[in-house]
Structure 1
Amino acid sequence: MNKKIGFIGCGKMAQAIIGGILKSKAVTPGHIIATAKTKETLADVKNRLGIEICFSNKQAAVETDILFLAVKPDLHSAVIDEIKDYIKPGAIIITIAAGISLDYLEKAFGQKIKAIRSMVNTPSLVGGGMSVIAANTLVSAEDLEEVIQIFSSIGRAEVMEEKMLDAIPAISGSSPAYVYMFIEALADGGVKAGLPRKQSYQMAAQAVLGAAKMVLETGKHPAELKDQVCTPGGATIEAVAELEKKGFRAAVLSAMEECYDKTKALSDNNK
């Protein structure tokens, strides 16, 4: 990729994306520039990743072909006001913040821009992320392929219509938190049965990882894979029956509805 990529804000998620880009060799460290508020953050990033750093958001905007707005939602307005007159013609602007719509970006910049709205999750930090992106009409097929290449470097990437993005946090953005709770509960069950805590976490986490890979790599319906584990009259079907009795599915669905409502409210406030 013969493009320069910029990051305004260089927190953990931005660093994960930068690390993925460099690991995939999509560009060299010299083709990435990042800004941050503190000298400590920039020095650390420079030492570990070898990328270009600066304190000037305007400089990052002037130099880059693909510019990530990697700041919190409430900082977008101030950052965009600062850089909107300095972005390169034809630059692709990407937000990774929840609730920042394409329409918001277009209005805030006050000009026609190539805009991408994305939703990423924390497993991106270990290359196991799920990213969903939506683009406005000015983003070409070639532009989109380059953006997909970037997000694929930290896991899987999917392109969807923007109207669907408010539902994404509940299923992939926030859901790692639910899974961590599930892993913790599994480990507690192992400890209750007499297993050491460390090994209980390892076995629970590996079981979840393996089950997820089975869904992704076999293409089979999760219900079919569940049935393969549940032998007639066995222990697993007893456990599944107890989960159903305690409202396991209903609790997950209810949690996702709450998450969606909160995300939708944030999005509505940024239109």
Structure 2
Amino acid sequence: MTDSLLLFDTHVHLDHPAMREDLARHIAEANRCGVTRFLLPGVTDENWDGLLAATTVTRGALAAPGVHPQAAHRWNSACAQRLSSLLERPEVVAIGEIGLDGYPGLPPMEVQERAFRAQLRLAVAVQRPVIIHCRKALGRLFEILKEENAAEVGGILHAFAGSVELAQQAVKMNFALGFGGVLTYPNARRAPQVLCELPAEWLVLETDAPDMAPHPHRGETNRPAWLKLIACRAAELRGWSLKQTARITTANTCRILNLDYS
């Protein structure tokens, strides 16, 4: 493992078949690159068992089960009850990934909003942070976050693609912004600008593996080890050392998720 480098991947799908097939190798490789802690978000209740199994066999892994907007049609009272029960487990530290997605072919927005609001209300009731997914719906997302008092629990806006102004709104509601592979793309403009203007205490790092591989691996199956490439780019943009970047972003993640930083 890289000497004293302790990186936290705040969004990695270790339960995905592309990861699960050779999980031990992926984790060993990540550890050698200084990536020692992992947050695994859910997508649908159908994968929660696999999600929890991946945390069981992966040192430093924690879970954030939830119902993604693409699976919002599956949200019902039984799903809500099961999620509430899972939140009693010590390895479950957040609800995610939840939110809104305006891409075509997904459940209607009213169905997405119903599932999103219900999960936000559960998070506030049990005082757990949330991991947010949002595409093409940031304005509406922020309205709902405010209406549901999400600032009480905060969380992480995964793969944030908004403006500096929206980033500032997120921070006011106790949400950190997750920066991943897009930050490293040679043609990236918005993500580097937001990262440079964001208060340091609201910056966290993610891979979204097996998706969204960073440069120079764009288009390949992403790996948690490549979080180090994202951290290097963040360090370059902020004028920090790699060790500073790891320390700051890991401490931020631990604060947001109510974990001990060590």
TM-score between the two structures when normalised by the length of structure 2? 0.34
TM-score between the two structures when normalised by the length of structure 1? 0.33
Bigger fraction of residues in helix: 1
Structure having the higher Rg? 1
- Flag the structure with more relative contact order, 1 or 2, with Cα contacts below 8 A and sequence separation at least 6: 2
